[in-house]
Amino acid sequence: MATHQQFPRGAGGESAHGATRGCRLVASAGAIAGCIDVLFVIAPDSILLDIAGPAEAFRLANLHRARRGLPPRYQLRFSGPMPSLTTSVPLALAGLETLPPRLTSSTWVILVGQPAVYASQPTPAIAAIAQWLNRTFDASLHPGNTPDRLITICSGALLAARAGLIAERRCTTHHELLGTLRALAPRAQVVGNRVFVVDGLLASSAGITAGIDLALHLIAGDCGDALAAAVSQDMVVYLRRSPADPEMSPFLVHRRHQHAAVHRVQDAISAEPQRDWNMAALAEVGHVTERHLLRLFLNHAGVSPLHYLQVIRLERARQWLEHGASITRAAEVAGFCSTLSLRRAWGRKWGGSPRDARRADRP
C-alpha cells in the first residue's frame, strides 16, 4: 500500500490532479493550509475493509471538491508499528509509515479493527501502538487541547481504551466486544446497539460497514451534506445512517438464538407483517401450543411473540414512510389496523408521531 494517496479517479477514469497534489506534498513540504491528515494506524491482522472503506470515502470527497473547484481537504496516510504486515484476509500491506513522533498538523487518527480473537489478546504491536497513542494524544481529548480527532472502527475502540484515551466519554464498538470495552474503560459510557457514536473529538463505530457510515458523517460535518451525499452515491451506499440508528436491524435483533420453532415464527412475521396474526396462528406456524410458544420466545428471543410482531410492523412502517408513503398506506402495509394504532405504537416506541418522521425525511 502506498504511503500517500494517489490521484483520485472517478467512475469514468477522470483524474483530479489538482485535488490531491497539494496534499501529497505534505510529507516533504510541511502542512498545507486547510488540509487534514487522515492517519490510519494499522496493526497486524487488521480488517482490510476497515481501512479501505473509510479511505475510499475520503478519497472521493477530495474528488468531488475538485469538481466544485475546491482544494483537497484530506491527506490519506497509512502507518503502523512495522513497515509491512498481513491483514485479516490475509493480504499483505507494505510501505507503511512509521508512527510519527508527534502530530505536526491537524490530524484525524483512525484506529482500525481486528477480528475479535486478536483484539481481545494484546500483542507487542498493539502495546506499541497504545504507548504511541498515550504519548501523542491528550488523554481527555478536549477541543481546547488539540486540533486533532480520534476515530475508532470496530475493535479499534479497545485500542483507544488500552491507551487510556476514552475516559468518561460515550463510545461504542462491535456488539460482541461491548463487554470487553466496558472492562477496559470502566468509566466510559459504552453505548450498545448504535452504528456510531460521536462525543466531542472521539468518534467510534460499531463494525466494518459502520466505519463507512462514520466517515460519511464526518465528511458531512466538515464539507457539507451535499458533498457527503455525492460520495455516498458514488459508493452505492443505500442509506447514510446516523448516530441515532441501531447497530442491528430490527429484522435481526432478538434472533441471536438457535431454536428452530422460534425462527420459523419470526420468519413468518417478517415475511408477512400485514397478516392478521394472533397467538393461535403463530403457534400453528411454530407447531407448538400457544403457551409453549410464549415460553420459547421469552427464553430464546427475550420478548413475547406479539411484542416481536409489533417491532417488525413498526420497522416496516418506518421504511415505507422514508420512501414517501402516506401514513395511511404505511399503516396498511405494516399490518396496523388503523393510523391511530400506528401512531400509538410509534409514540410508545420512539415518541413523537409518524407525521413528524415523514416531515423530517422530505428533502
CA 100 to chain centre: 27
Residue 118 included in any domain: yes
Tell me whether residue 193 is in a domain: yes
Of 175, 199, 234, the last residue of a domain is 234
168: domain CATH number is: 3.40.50.880
Same-domain pairing of 122 and 198: yes
State pTM to two decimals.
Answer: 0.65
**Overall size of the chain counted in residues:** 363
More confident residue, 227 or 346: 346
Question: In this predicted model, what pLDDT tens digit does every residue of 236-280 receive, in sequence order?
Answer: 775 455 665 665 567 767 887 889 899 899 989 988 999 999 999
Would residue 173 count as lying in a domain? Answer: yes
Q: Which of 302, 247, 251 is nearest to 273 (CA)?
A: 251
Q: What pLDDT digit, counting tens, does each position of 116-128 carry?
A: 888 878 899 999 9
182 and 63 in a single domain? The answer is yes
Which pairing describes strands 97-98 and 74-80: parallel, antiparallel, or unpaired? parallel
Say if 254 falls within a structural domain. no
Residue 155 pLDDT > 90: yes
Shared domain for 222 and 352, answered yes or no, is no
Domain contains 251: no
Q: For residue 321, give the CATH number of its domain.
A: 1.10.10.60
* Helices (H), ranges, the chain: 17-24, 26-29, 48-67, 116-119, 124-136, 156-162, 178-184, 208-223, 225-234, 260-271, 279-286, 290-300, 305-322, 327-334, 339-350, 354-361
Within a domain: residue 117? yes
Strand pairing class (196-199; 107-111):
unpaired
Measure the CA–CA gap between 99 and 128, rounded to whole angstroms: 10
Q: What is the pLDDT of residue 321?
A: 87
68 and 114 inside one domain: yes
Say yes or no: 217 and 277 in one domain. Answer: no
CA pseudo-torsion sign 222, 223, 226, 227: negative
Instruction: Mark whether 229 and 264 lie in a shared domain.
Output: no
Across the beta sheet with 74-80, the strand order is 97-98, 74-80, 36-41, 107-111, 149-153, 202-205, 196-199
Nearest partner of 78 among 121, 39, 117, judged by Cα: 39
Kindly state whether residue 326 falls inside one of the protein's structural domains.
yes
User: Could you give the CA distance from residue 216 to residue 231 in angstroms, rounded to a whole number?
Assistant: 8
The larger pLDDT score, comparing residue 153 to residue 351, is at 153
Give Dmax over CA atoms of the chain in angstroms. Answer: 74
- Judge whether 205 and 214 are in contact, CB under 8 Å: yes
Same domain? 283 vs 140: no
Domain final position from 234, 251, 284: 234
Half-sphere exposure (CA, 13 Å, Cβ side) for 75?
Answer: 22
How much is the pLDDT for 21?
39
Same domain, 201 and 152: yes
Residue 30 dihedral angles phi and psi, to the nearest 5° = 90, 180
Instruction: Please name every residue paired with 2 in a beta bridge, in sequence order, or none if there are none.
Output: none
Residue 308: pLDDT above 60?
Answer: yes
Q: Give the total number of structural domains in the chain.
A: 2
* Residue span of the structural domain in which 185 resides: 17-234
